[in-house]
Structure 1
């Protein structure tokens, strides 16, 4: 096998950028979504919803 040749048409900084930009995009989306208000209605602890409680037969 011949030696690997350095390719000057694609610089190393572009290769590093292509590796890290997807993670940076996900972090940016996470930071933006945390800054926006969420739609929960449990101010101060939440509510117990009896829908998920088992029904007792009498």
Structure 2
């Protein structure tokens, strides 16, 4: 999932360099959303791992 965020960030940078403002803004928004979702899922996974302990 983090790779998708990086991909959209790269698309946004390329679009910004080429002057496509609307596409760049949308790609940045998508990249931010995917990054936040990845962070939340990581935090939940780490919390569950800590609560369960070792098997």
- Name the TM tier (shorter chain): 0.3 to 0.5
User: Considering only CA atoms, is the larger Rg found in Structure 1 or Structure 2?
Assistant: 1
Q: TM-score, normalised by structure 1?
A: 0.39
Structure in which a larger fraction of residues adopt helix: 2
Q: Which has the higher contact order (CA 8 A, sep 6+)?
A: 2
